[in-house]
Structure formats: C-alpha cells, structure tokens
Structure 1
Amino acid sequence: MTTFTIIGTGSMANAIGGVLASGGSTVDYIAKDQVGTAPLAGDVVILAVPFPAVDSILAAYGDAFDGKVVVDITNPLNFETFDSLVVPAGSSAAAEIQAKLPQAQVLKAFNTNFAATLAAKSVGELLTTVLVAGDSAEAKATLVAAVEAAGLGAIDAGALVRAHELEAIGFAQLTLAVSEKIGWTGGFAVQR
C-alpha cells in the first residue's frame, strides 16, 4: 500500500488524507510548525498548502524530495484580487515546482476539487473525480490507484503541461465559489 505524507493540516489536507486512508493508504501529516523538522516519510508527498507557502517548504526540505512523487494541489491565484493567476502565462505552479525539484516526479491533482466534495465523495449526484496530470505514468498510476481504492473517480489528464489547464479550471471554480455563484459543496464534476 502507498504511504503518503501530507504537508498541511487544513480542510483540503484533512479531506485528502481522509479519502486516502479510507482506501487503505497510510497517511501522516506535517503541520506548519513542523516543516523542515518532521521527515518526509511517505513515498508520495502532497503539498496541501497555499501556493505562497510552497517555496519555503521546498527550501526547508531540499533534496529530501529526491525520488519522491510530489503532488501539487495549489491554485496559484492572486488571493488579494481573485482576478488572475500569479504564474507566468502558459506555465503552472506544478511546472515551477518540477523545475525546482528535478529529481522528484511532480503531479498536479486535487486542485479542481473542494474539500467538501472530496469528503462526501460526490459532487451533487456525480462521483467526485480527481484529475491527475504529470510526466510519470508510474507516479500517476500510483495516485490514481489510491484515489480509486477510496471510492472516488480519477482520470489521467495527461502530461504535466496540462497542469496549466487544471489550474485554470481551479481558478474558475474558486472565483465562482468566492462570489457565491456556486457553493463550496458544488463545483465541476466529470461524468464518464
């Protein structure tokens, strides 16, 4: 079974961890005040933190990420204005993380889901589906298997360059929720 280390203890971290544990995976958490001191014990490390916190986490652990699968769940949007993404046009937070962690296998996942829809395992009457992008087929298969073992849907969304589109979907969903056009228990769903 896959072992996961989740950096973060907020609603998304707990929802993702709960889902993965329900599927039989081993999950441990690293809180904000433990970053840099607690070990990255999992084979898969999930960055369940706001995008602005990522650089300090990468610096705190450095080459401890080498050989790991690193899952970026961030939506790199301007939280002051909610009107733009803060990564270069055509790029993504996941691509920037991969450039800083060349010895890790970076995946983009969970950023198009809300915590409530992960915990409920549904968006309305549809099964919650996690979209996963990355360049390593093996890393994607590992995450997809863990998500599906927990009773959620998962789709391989393609190479890491697709993280750009996933972040655009996440951006649109967040701005709709913040402006109260959709609820935090709703959002986009995939019918297969």
Structure 2
Amino acid sequence: MSTISIIGSGSMAAAIGGRVAKAGHTVEVVSRDPAKARALADHLAAGATTGTYGAVPAGNIVILAVPYSSAAAAVADYGNALDGKVIIDITNPVAPDLSGLVTPHGSSGAQETAKGVPAGAHVVKAFNTIFGHVLAKGGRLDAFIAADDPEAKARVSTFLESLGLRPFDVGGLQMAQTLEALGLMMIGLARNGAGTWDLALNIDLG
C-alpha cells in the first residue's frame, strides 16, 4: 500500500481518510491548522500522520479536500511542492444559494485549479458526486473521474478500486464541468425530490 496525502481536515477529508485508512494505505493529513490535522490523524489512527502545510506532501496522490473557495489559495501556497503529484480535486463550486456553479463560463473548478499547479502535476476530478457520510458508511459505490493525463487517470482508478469503489472514466478534464453540475444536481435531489441525503448514483450496466 502507499501513502495518500489529504489537504484539509473537514468532513470530506475525514470520510475519505477513513476509507483510505481502512484500505490499508497510510494517510497523511495536512491543514492550515496543525491542531485540526492532528485531531483528524488521531481519529483515523491506523498509523495516520500529519504533514507540514505547504511542504512537499508525502504521498504521490494528493487529495485536495478543501472548499472550492480555498482551492486556488491552497494550490498557490504549495507551489512547486506539488510538482510530479497526482492531485484529486473533490470540490463542488456551487453558489451559496445553490442557484448554480460559480466557475467561469466554459470552465470547471478542476480546470481552474489545474491552471495553478506545476507543469509536472496532474489534476483528476473525483469524489465530488459522493456525499461524505455515504462514503463513510462503506459499500461499493460508483466513482466518476475526469482527467487529461492517462497515467494519472489509471493511478486514480486503481486507488479508487483499492477503496472498494467502482471507478468510471467520463473523459478529459473538461468533463469536470459536467461532474460538478452533477454534484449540484445531487444536492438539489437530496433537498427536494429524494428528501434524504442518504443517496448515491449507481450505474446499472444491465
């Protein structure tokens, strides 16, 4: 197994970290607030460690588990420390009133984040269509990924499979626009038509 670095210490970081630790990987938790990183690492146990914010992450796969509003700043804080890393963007750039997405027309949160990473880093969109508490429950869930680099996409697919998830490749990073719209739809469905947040998208291949 390998080391997976998670930037962030909120509910999604905890949900993903729990799944990663259970799969036997080593989790490195990094946060602007070292106390929050330490608390999450202690909660995860299983040998979870903490890293220094802005320093080179221990893992070759780095999960950016911060709100979209903080993503660009986090990437800028790390700068060249992310060179050569595969960066998983889990954000849903939704407006506070849930009226739509806050990204520029024709772009996505993942594409905007990708503009700030070093040339040797690769951004992969994943996890944004799975609610954290559903992920934390366990079970085989479908996970959609979008990326331009085939090798990065393959590595993330293998990683997702190790977590007991079923990865589905939806195309290049421009497809993150569709995945983020799908994330917004999931929130709308939970708040309105489904009446519950205990839901997940599943592909039926018949």
| Equivalent residues, number | 187
For 2:32, the equivalent position in structure 1 comes to 32
Uncovered stretches (5+) of structure 2, i.e. residues with no partner: 35-51
For 1:5, the equivalent position in structure 2 comes to 5
How far residue 38 of structure 1 moved from its aligned partner, in angstroms, is 5.4
Whole-angstrom distance in 1 between the partners of 2:77 and 2:178:
29
Normalising by structure 1, we get a TM-score of 0.89
For 1:87, the equivalent position in structure 2 comes to 103
Q: CA RMSD in A?
A: 1.8
Whole-angstrom distance in 1 between the partners of 2:5 and 2:193:
33
Partners of 1:19 and 1:147 within 8 A in 2: no
Q: Which amino acid aligns with 2:152?
A: A
Q: Which amino acid aligns with 1:187?
A: A
1:1-192 to 2 correspondences below 5 Å: 1-34=1-34, 36-37=53-54, 39-79=56-96, 81-101=97-117, 102-122=119-139, 127-179=140-192, 181-192=194-205
Q: What does the per-residue CA deviation read over 1:133-175, in whole Å, with 9 as the maximum and x for residues that have no partner?
A: 1011211111211221222211122111111110010011123
Partners of 2:141 and 2:202 within 8 A in 1: yes
> Identity across aligned pairs (percent)?
42
Q: What does the per-residue CA deviation read over 1:17-54, in whole Å, with 9 as the maximum and x for residues that have no partner?
A: 12222222221111231473554211111111110011
Partners of 2:64 and 2:87 within 8 A in 1: yes
Whole-angstrom distance in 1 between the partners of 2:21 and 2:150:
23
Whole-angstrom distance in 2 between the partners of 1:39 and 1:175:
37
Partners of 1:129 and 1:190 within 8 A in 2: yes
Whole-angstrom distance in 2 between the partners of 1:167 and 1:37:
27
Normalising by structure 2, we get a TM-score of 0.83
Whole-angstrom distance in 2 between the partners of 1:75 and 1:38:
25
Q: 1:178 to 1:38 in 2, by over 3 A?
A: farther
Q: Which amino acid aligns with 1:31?
A: S
